[in-house]
Structure 1
């Protein structure tokens, strides 16, 4: 799982520019599925058939990460940018970024005034991202163009992944865990299903443009006539000391079984099934009620005639920053519960809203 996480987070794929991720995932899952395609929007859809009749299951995670896009090159070579996805302007200053050109990747930094000028500035001011700029070392417009920068070039945080503390903590810090960690869970599940007998059919969907409105999931899930769906995403924990934290979700306490967020009220039958299965298999879990987030599960639940949908959440600290933190035990718990969910299904498995 660690190697998958390292490979996935190294890829450059902000919203709408996921091509490197789509291609890598397609090639990686090909040996473990019966069929894999990339649809016109960029979603990767892999299908794996079981050895026995049963329900059609979607498991989905989004490939895109938050990022930026080049808006303008100033005369002195500095780059103005727009956001792709949700950012907190307070953390942008002095962060390293990576600009993707047609032929290479450029390291840049979001500029800020020197500390020596701070006494002449308003220390309480948070500058809007449109007032900020990225420095790639270019001396002028021509120099920036020589480096390959064009208006519309995509930008992400500079790739990084490290142990938080050391390898004894089991915790990782890096960019893009939202939601490459979810992608790693699904890929690992496909690998571990290889050679196992299960009922029905599994569609593994890796979506684009989740961070700008669940757009990929709206297109991809309509292509599958599914009986049940499970979305995998990260979620923000509330276990740090800030006054807004309510201590309801914790890092290292197990996978989050979604109850409610701003995009979805989890299907009660699916939610209870996941809870019962986690308890039966002794997989650590916590219940998630968090209206501050939305996932592809929300879009999937509204697909076609409505798909009974649940969500498994990977707890995360410092979400949507270059230093997201996750716990490997939560990652394994999420993968284990997803795999056990698929293996537990039979030809008779149904997820009605009202149980008869």
Structure 2
């Protein structure tokens, strides 16, 4: 799982510019499933058929990561940018970024004034991202153009996955865990389903543009006729000392079984089944109520005549930053509960809102 996660987070794929990730995922899962296709928006659909009749389950995770896009090249070679997804202006200064040009990758730095000038500045001021710039070392505008930068060049944090502390912690720090971690879980599940008897069919949907309004999932959801769906995404924990943290979700405490977020009230039958299986299999979990986020599950649940949908959340610290943190224990618990859920499906099983 670690190597898979390193490969996925090393890919460059901000919202609307996920081509390297879509291609990599498509190529990786082709040998693991019966059918693979990529739609016009970039969503990857991978269907694996079971050995006996049963429900059609959709599992989904998004491929895009928060990032930026080049907006203007100044005469001195510095680059103005816009956000792709929910970046916090407080986190931007002096961070390394990676620009993907037609000529290759460039390393850049989001600039800031020297500490020696701080005494002349307003220390409480948080500059809007439109006041900031990216320095790629270009001597002037012409040099930046020669390097391959143009209006529309996509930008992400510089790839940087490593252990937090050391290997004894089981925790990793890096960019793009939201939601390449979910993509890794699904790919690992498809590997583990190889040669295993299960009922029905599983369609893995790796979506685009989640961070700008669940756009890929809205399109993808209309293309599948599913009996049940499970979305995978990271979720922000609340176990650090800031006064806004309520310690309702913790890193290392297991997968999150979603109850509610701003995009979805989890279908009770799906939620209860996940809790039942986690209890029976002694898989560590925590119930999640967090209105501060939304997931592809919200879009999937509204498709067609409504799809019973639940969400498994991978706990994360410092979301939407270049130093997101996850615990491998939570990642493996998420994968194990998803696998148990898929293997529990049987012919005729329905997830009803009202039990007869």
State the TM-score bracket (shorter-chain normalisation). over 0.9
State how 1:109-258 maps to structure 2 within 5 Å.
Answer: 109-258=109-258
Alpha-carbon distance in 1 for matches of 2:103, 2:308: 44
Alpha-carbon distance in 2 for matches of 1:297, 1:310: 7
Asked if 1:59 is matched to 2:59, the reply is yes
Asked if 1:334 is matched to 2:334, the reply is yes
SS of equivalent to 1:223: coil
Alpha-carbon distance in 2 for matches of 1:31, 1:325: 31
Corresponding residue number in structure 2 for 1:308: 308
1:348 Cα deviation from its structure 2 partner: 2.4
Q: Over residues 136-185 of structure 1, what are the superposed CA-to-partner deviations in whole Å (9 max), with x where a residue is unaligned?
A: 00011100000000000000000010100000000000000000000000
SS of equivalent to 2:286: strand
Alpha-carbon distance in 1 for matches of 2:67, 2:6: 18
1:103 Cα deviation from its structure 2 partner: 2.2
Corresponding residue number in structure 1 for 2:69: 69
Indicate conservation of the 8 Å contact 2:58/2:228, yes or no.
Answer: yes
1:349 Cα deviation from its structure 2 partner: 1.2
Alpha-carbon distance in 1 for matches of 2:30, 2:152: 31
Corresponding residue number in structure 2 for 1:36: 36
1:69 Cα deviation from its structure 2 partner: 0.2
Equivalent residues, number: 356
1:224 Cα deviation from its structure 2 partner: 0.7
Corresponding residue number in structure 2 for 1:90: 90
Alpha-carbon distance in 2 for matches of 1:27, 1:232: 21
Alpha-carbon distance in 1 for matches of 2:221, 2:338: 18
Alpha-carbon distance in 2 for matches of 1:256, 1:282: 14
Corresponding residue number in structure 2 for 1:25: 25
1:77 Cα deviation from its structure 2 partner: 0.1
Indicate conservation of the 8 Å contact 2:11/2:20, yes or no.
Answer: yes
Alpha-carbon distance in 2 for matches of 1:188, 1:265: 27
Q: Over residues 76-98 of structure 1, what are the superposed CA-to-partner deviations in whole Å (9 max), with x where a residue is unaligned?
A: 00000000000110010000000
1:222 Cα deviation from its structure 2 partner: 1.1
1:43 Cα deviation from its structure 2 partner: 0.2
Alpha-carbon distance in 2 for matches of 1:222, 1:181: 25
Asked if 1:289 is matched to 2:299, the reply is no
Corresponding residue number in structure 2 for 1:266: 266
Alpha-carbon distance in 1 for matches of 2:303, 2:103: 38
Q: Over residues 165-216 of structure 1, what are the superposed CA-to-partner deviations in whole Å (9 max), with x where a residue is unaligned?
A: 0000000000000000000000000000000000001000000000000000
TM-score, normalised to structure 1's length? 1.00
- 5+ residue gaps, structure 1, are none
Alpha-carbon distance in 2 for matches of 1:199, 1:103: 47
TM-score, normalised to structure 2's length? 1.00
Alpha-carbon distance in 2 for matches of 1:226, 1:218: 14
Q: Over residues 21-41 of structure 1, what are the superposed CA-to-partner deviations in whole Å (9 max), with x where a residue is unaligned?
A: 000000000111001001000
SS of equivalent to 1:139: coil
Indicate conservation of the 8 Å contact 2:103/2:147, yes or no.
Answer: no
Indicate conservation of the 8 Å contact 2:209/2:215, yes or no.
Answer: yes
Alpha-carbon distance in 2 for matches of 1:71, 1:88: 18
Corresponding residue number in structure 2 for 1:344: 344
1:355 Cα deviation from its structure 2 partner: 0.9
CA RMSD of aligned residues (A): 0.4
Alpha-carbon distance in 1 for matches of 2:171, 2:313: 16
Q: Over residues 83-128 of structure 1, what are the superposed CA-to-partner deviations in whole Å (9 max), with x where a residue is unaligned?
A: 0000110010000000000120000000000000000000000000
Alpha-carbon distance in 2 for matches of 1:275, 1:235: 18
